[in-house]
Amino acid sequence: MTGELFLGHSVNKLTQMTGYIEACVLKLDGEQIWARGNGAQNSIGNLVLHLCGNVRQWIGSSIGGESDIRERDREFAADSRIETPELLEKLRVTVNNAVRILADLPPDRLTDRVSTQDGERSALEVIYQVVGHFQQHAGQIIFATKLATGEGLKFYKKSP
């Protein structure tokens, strides 16, 4: 029961945060998506590419057994710019694949040890890391979008 709750909540959070990121990206033009305030900052576009790489590597490869094709340096490169529809499709495909892997994962596998680039971890630890990391960068994207547009995003409805 606890494992099922954890997996379901993880899927819900990845799906919810993906929706927030999509809403943000759709409020911006290409220049805003790929703008960097300075050399120490990442663009929103680079953060989306980074999330795709992270989710593919940690869930797709470590848990789903897919090939690890990540090129982490390219996720942050200034010349990694792609058009908005392609960026959003990459995000959707990546998250949908991770959601499928998690939906098919039997809860008793949460304690299985899996290989990551940082060594062995339990599948539960991997999922927890990915969801937390995804939420962290979604928050950065939300904040950057508010700065760029000067608008609220109205993700939450006011209570009556």
Domains of the chain: 2-149 (1.20.120.450)
Q: Is 154 left (phi over 0), alpha (psi -120 to 50) or beta?
A: left
Which amino acid is present at 49? Answer: L
Confidence of residue 159 (pLDDT cuts 50, 70, 90): low
DSSP class of residue 157 equals P
Instruction: Provide CB contacts within 8 A for 145, sequence distance 6+.
Output: 24, 27, 28, 44, 153
pTM of the model: 0.93
Confidence of residue 38 (pLDDT cuts 50, 70, 90): confident
Answer whether residue 74 shows pLDDT above 90.
Answer: no
Name the average pLDDT for the chain. Answer: 93
